[in-house]
Amino acid sequence: MNRTATSRRVALSALVAATVAAAILLAAGPAGARQPEDVVLNVGHRGASGYAPEHTFAAYDLALRMGADYIEQDLQMTSDGVLVVLHDETLDRTARPTAESGPGDCTGLVREKTLAQIKTCDVGSWFNEAYPQYARPEYVGLKIPTLEEVFQRYRKSVNYYIETKSPEAAPGMEEELLRLMDEYGLTRPAAERWQVLIQSFSPASLQKVHALDPSLPLIQLFSGAETGETIQAKLDATAAYAVGIGPSKDDVDAALVEAAHARCLDVHPYTVNESAEMERLIAAGVDGMFTNFPDRLDAVLGKSAVDGRKHAAVLAKRANDACRGAGGHERRPSDGI
């Protein structure tokens, strides 16, 4: 072989080696970046609330059967200090009186009612009236669950995604949540494998939880009044106490996901109900999403849906840890609030 041919071969080898190295670097991404194969969590928003009355055992059971990795709980507190699972601050939209109800038991603010009053209400009938195509006789008479009843029903067999709702109007909500998690043995599983994710629109509520127990994984929600840019401006502050963000789906694009991932914050948009939206957000790199239709997300994910819901949470936690270990922001117990 003459010198020219040898030089060409050496140059070609170097080019191939450089190309392979570049491809590996591109695939690996910058330190701390999430990987394309990372899990996409399927969060049953208020359960499978597209098909069954929200925040009932019927909706939670259905979400789990449809492939949800998490079931979501929105918390309200009764006047006698019990955490119940209901989205709205008032009973008006979803509660209807029954023969047991006294006057006014099933309207008005939850925090002005006792648990006994609230337990007289029916939260299934409204759904049958609003969604006759999904109506079922067994939904009539369904009750508002307490958080404790939810923990008693599912124990450690599922993952919970729990929101402190209007926490400023319910002092002690965070302490009671953490007390119940302790009582049902969910505190360590939350910290170690994200069996419980705690979410809130209120930074103060999450910062309070963080101060009470810095090991707990927290998700900062952002309202639809924000934009991708305003959320980006808050990511550094959020990363001081949270492991992820929950933006409105319309605020999410690849730039926001990249900015969040650069700080090792997972991105879980809400509320994503159409398959095309799910596909767009997965392409943008999100790590999960809230949906009223967990079966649709399961179908979109197809083979990439993680088999076994507990495993999905473990993989998500592991990916987040790997990001932090690879040079992203690392939370410490001493982080300020």
The footprint of ligand G3P (CB under 6 A) covers: 45, 74, 87, 163, 199, 221, 246, 270-271, 290
- Whether 87 sits among the annotated catalytic residues: the reply is yes
CA dihedral 123→165→208→197, nearest 10 degrees, is 60
Q: Residue 224 corresponds to which amino acid? A: G
- 45 catalytic residue (yes or no): yes
Strand, helix or coil for residue 246: strand
Nearer to ligand G3P among residue 101 and residue 160 (C-beta)? 160
**Residues 6+ positions from 121 with CB-CB distance below 8 Å:** 91, 95, 96, 97, 98, 101, 105, 106, 143, 144
Interface with Ca ion, residue 105, by CB under 5 A = no
Query: Binding to Ca ion (CB under 5 A): which residues in 61-90?
Result: 74
* Nearer CB in complex with ligand G3P: 189/269: 269
- Given candidates 163, 251, 266, 277, which one binds Ca ion under the rule CB under 5 A? 163
**Min dist. Cβ of residue 230 to ligand G3P (A):** 17
What does the alpha-carbon distance between residue 167 and residue 200 come to, in Å, rounded to a whole number? 9
Could you tell which of ligand G3P, Ca ion, none binds residue 221, using a CB distance below 5 to 8 A set by kind?
A: ligand G3P
Shortest distance, position 74 Cβ to Ca ion, whole Å: 5
Residue 67: name its binding partner from Ca ion, ligand G3P, none (Cβ under 5 to 8 Å by kind). none
Sign of CA dihedral 216, 186, 59, 76: negative
Query: Given the complex with ligand G3P, which of 139 and 270 has the nearer CB atom?
Result: 270
Q: Which residue is nearest to Ca ion (CB)?
A: 163
The Cα–Cα gap between 95 and 118 comes to 9
Place of tokens 């495993």: 311
Asked if 178 contacts 187 with a C-beta cutoff of 8 angstroms, the reply is yes
Nearest to ligand G3P of 195, 271 (CB atom): 271
Q: Which residues form the interface with Ca ion (CB under 5 A)?
A: 74, 163
So which residues are the catalytic ones?
Answer: 45, 87
